Amino acid sequence: IIRVCFDCNFEDQMTWKEVNSLSLQLRYTYAMNRRSPKPVHIDVCSLKSGCDTRKHMEKVDGFPDSWANRAYHCHEGSLEEVFGEALSNIGKNKDEDKQEDNEEGQIGSKEDSGSSKDNCRQSLPKLRPNHQLVYLTGDSEETLSTLDNNTTYIIGGIVDRNRLKRAAIDRAEAIASNSTLPIKTARLPLNEHLDF
């Protein structure tokens, strides 16, 4: 199962209209994931209590608790906090890891039960040993050619109409230099497959 993370750490750099657009796009991803016969695991980080993005999303019935049943988890904590803790927990509870392996592909399983609407902190991602983090950005020199089910693909929660140049790659490089997260960058092979 593919895992995607939306990094909503850019709200203070966006206008109200851009934040509103971001919240709509996050709602669309939930709707598409809910209807998909093979949903991906989605984590949304830096969705802090009181932030405008979260306020827009709270207008949707069932957010965030019922969303977790379709593998959509929101976290107040930053990308560094959420995945730092999740990576440090790998292998700590072997019984849980075995049960997770047995439930692979089942959405709405045990991992969804730890949600709390008050602080928008749902259960941490359940990651396997050697899990990788790849921040997707068009500014990366590396091109993503295959998808791996032991990798989280991070998408910057930015709606900027090309105003915030290099914001995603600068964030990824800052995380890599200031934390212990094993984060890389890559760009989607759009130029190779689409005629712009």
Q: Which letter does DSSP use for residue 167 in this model? A: H
Res 160: pLDDT: 81
16-72: per-residue pLDDT in tens? Answer: 999 999 999 999 999 999 899 988 999 999 999 899 999 999 988 888 888 887 789
Res 117: pLDDT: 41
Please state the rounded mean pLDDT for residues 101-122.
45
- Residue 113 scores a pLDDT above 60: no
Please state the rounded mean pLDDT for residues 147-172.
92
Q: Is 81 helix (H, G, I), strand (E, B) or coil?
A: helix
- Residue 102 scores a pLDDT above 70: no
Residue 40: other Cβ atoms inside 10 A? 18
Q: How confident is the model at residue 137 (pLDDT cuts 50, 70, 90)?
A: very high
Res 92: pLDDT: 77
Q: How far apart are the first and last CA of the chain?
A: 30
Residue 70 or 168, more confident: 168
The percent of the chain in helix, strand and coil, each rounded to the nearest 5, is: 40, 15, 45
Please state the rounded mean pLDDT for residues 151-155.
97
The radius of gyration of the chain from alpha carbons, rounded to an integer in Å, stands at 16
| pTM given for the model | 0.84
Q: How confident is the model at residue 196 (pLDDT cuts 50, 70, 90)?
A: low
Which two structure tokens, joined as six digits, stand for 100?
């997770």
Res 191: pLDDT: 78
Q: How confident is the model at residue 79 (pLDDT cuts 50, 70, 90)?
A: very high
Res 1: pLDDT: 81
Task: State the Cα–Cα distance between residues 64 and 116, nearest whole angstrom.
Answer: 8
Res 93: pLDDT: 58
Residues 6+ apart with CB under 8 A from 183: 133, 134, 135, 154, 172, 175, 176
Distances in Å between the Cα of 80 and the Cα atoms of 2, 8, 45, 86, 154 are: 20, 12, 9, 10, 12
Concatenating the DSSP letter of every residue in 16-79 gives HHHHHHHHHHHHHHHHHHHH-SSPPEEEEE---TT-HHHHHHTTSTTTTTGGGGGTEEE-SS-H
Q: b/e map of 132-152 (b: 16 or more CB within 10 Å)?
A: ebbbbbeebeeebeeeeeebb
